[in-house]
Structure 1
């Protein structure tokens, strides 16, 4: 596969508690197991893309702390070019995650250094795809819409109203069904991918479905990194001219592989292996 991909987004240290069930408001649930691992939607997508075989660089920020150094090392190990990740004055971003026995999760994000991500000194090539998310500032996403000369994909998560210029510019917007329902403006977007969990995923043009693919049946260990893996895989597929239905099937297969791993940045086979699904 020949694809250059730049991921602009968040880098977080994930602190995950696995419990039998998620607590209700004001409730304490005991018996949990604690894990620390690399995360952040941007870093998850960059790691997935690199492991799938795209030449991937990450544009983001970490703090001058042990967590930041560990996260940079993890991205390098995944094959991601980290030259455009800057050291910020703020501490490295952190995500506090709870996962239940069925893989469902609750997440609270403390943005830290992610608030200082900047495009200063960053250039994008005409043939370089760019993927971003909404764990960085909307102003930065709007700046990307104006500056990226090539393929521009936006994972609109967490759900926030998007500036009209972002919706109009994006070649691809990726959301889950809840995010899609919260963002009615996406019915006017040129291409939107919507994920429905165990029910599969679809591609919509101006609100009309043009492709659908069923999900692979899995009993999830964790769904934390599944959407990010899907986003990376679908961007790779569509940017390399895979037809829409086959692209969705491949992205679903990558997402299905992701839910079988407790980590937000699991290992993957080369992308071509998932095109067989």
Structure 2
């Protein structure tokens, strides 16, 4: 099968997770019950998701010249992601410091570190290395000027631009019409539009507002309620696969990576979204971020067993 390249430009983080009985108050010291490190960062998660699903995927971004950076690079390679455009820089690798209590409540401190070194030069290098235009995937964990430059440069070269605005941050008005597909969740939709997204009617209204800003297609992920796709030509819901969720971490990243993979394979948008729904469903049945992201054979087997959403 001939596929287009999926180029992911974004963040690479190492997540440092501590489990505690209760979260500490200011000035308080508590004992933790476990500690673990997990590869993460929305950019890396989405690249790994696409790589495991069989896409010809390249990752561009920055890590530090440290142990965390080396581990993240190894993880990309193990998931069939081309890492040649991930640069090692003098800043420390991005980290997320996560504390989770017995009830599942958490506090998170993100240190962007090397991710903030991802600049226009890195974008140009990645676009050149990728060759023929394909599917570009971007998020909001690198500098905004880099995201906007990447959208402009890629669109001028004929790439299909997918933008996952996480964490929520608005783009310049002249950039919005260059985005082919935007994929926010309900919270991000509310921030981007200034409208509530707490009902189906409200979500549709918010999606229409994003379309009015010039975006080609809006796909709003709704968690256990599936997703909504709106464009100038059509509007439809993608129903979720019924599964028992264990951990929703990186479910959105599985969805984005799978959708990009489907489009790169030449599938229709609707087929790609149904494939993405299946990948996300598998991901939520397992714990962790990148460890939960499924391989292609797992998603194909899940679909065969569960049946088509149509």
- Asked whether the two chains share a fold, i.e. TM above 0.5, the reply is yes
Equivalent residue runs for 1:40-189 within 5 Å = 40-99=41-100, 107-120=108-121, 121-122=125-126, 123=128, 124-148=130-154, 149=157, 150-184=159-193, 186-188=210-212, 189=215
Q: 1:40 offset after TM fit, Å?
A: 0.5
Q: 1:181 offset after TM fit, Å?
A: 1.1
Q: TM-score, normalised by structure 2?
A: 0.79
Q: 1:220 offset after TM fit, Å?
A: 2.6
Which of residues 237, 241, 247 in structure 1 aligns to 2:272? 247
Q: 1:165 to 1:28 in 2, by over 3 A?
A: farther
| Structure 2 partner of 1:39 | 40
SS in 2 for 1:227: helix
SS in 2 for 1:183: helix
Partners of 1:212 and 1:246 in 2: CA distance: 12
After the TM superposition, which of the residue ranges 87-96 and 115-124 deviates more from structure 2? 115-124
Does the 8 Å contact 1:141/1:166 carry over to 2? no
Q: TM-score, normalised by structure 1?
A: 0.88
| Structure 2 partner of 1:205 | 231
Deviations along 1:87-139, one digit per CA (max 9) or x if unpaired, are 11110000123456787765432100000013423325343211110000110
Q: 1:103 to 1:256 in 2, by over 3 A?
A: farther
Uncovered stretches (5+) of structure 2, i.e. residues with no partner: 194-208
Q: 1:28 offset after TM fit, Å?
A: 8.3
Deviations along 1:60-108, one digit per CA (max 9) or x if unpaired, are 1011111111111111111111111111111000012345678776543
RMSD of aligned alpha carbons: 2.7
Uncovered stretches (5+) of structure 1, i.e. residues with no partner: none
SS in 2 for 1:90: coil
Q: How many residues align?
A: 275
